[in-house]
Amino acid sequence: MKISARVENSHSHHHVTLATNDQPHTLDIPPKATGYGSSANGGELLFLALATCYGNDIYREAAARGIEVTAVEVEVSGDFGAPGEPARHITYRAKVTGRGSAAELEALARHTDSVAEIQNTLRAGAAVRLDAVQVATIE
């Protein structure tokens, strides 16, 4: 599965395009009040990625186990320090509602934590590199 994200930003314009396997869709995130940049910061979006991954994976793993899940709530929190410092103390909580015993739902939730791809990517410390930079000057 190939995933990409693209941000285009200029004064009072902020456009986000996401794609999985070359199937694009947009996410509505307005620009900052100053007109430049995104009103959502990278830390918020990182934590949203963790919450979204876990929530989606609960449904996937429940289906594989034959468990009907009717609702999922996920809250992620953590701390960022000075510019350039990585996040610390990232934790998340989940509430899973479904048809099954409490033990089955808890086992599902704990199993999902072990297979959630975004969580495992951060836990593994994946390498990230800047591949290219283009610049344009204004005269």
Condensed to tens digits (0 to 9), the pLDDT of residues 86-125 reads 999 999 999 999 999 999 999 999 999 999 999 999 999 9
Condensed to tens digits (0 to 9), the pLDDT of residues 2-24 reads 999 999 999 999 999 999 999 99
pLDDT value, residue 127: 94
pLDDT value, residue 128: 94
Condensed to tens digits (0 to 9), the pLDDT of residues 50-76 reads 999 999 999 999 999 999 999 999 999
d(CA 37, CA 40) in angstroms, rounded, equals 9
- The beta-strand segments (E) located in 11-116 are 13-20, 23-27, 68-79, 88-99
Condensed to tens digits (0 to 9), the pLDDT of residues 84-96 reads 999 999 999 999 9
pLDDT value, residue 89: 97
d(CA 112, CA 106) in angstroms, rounded, equals 10
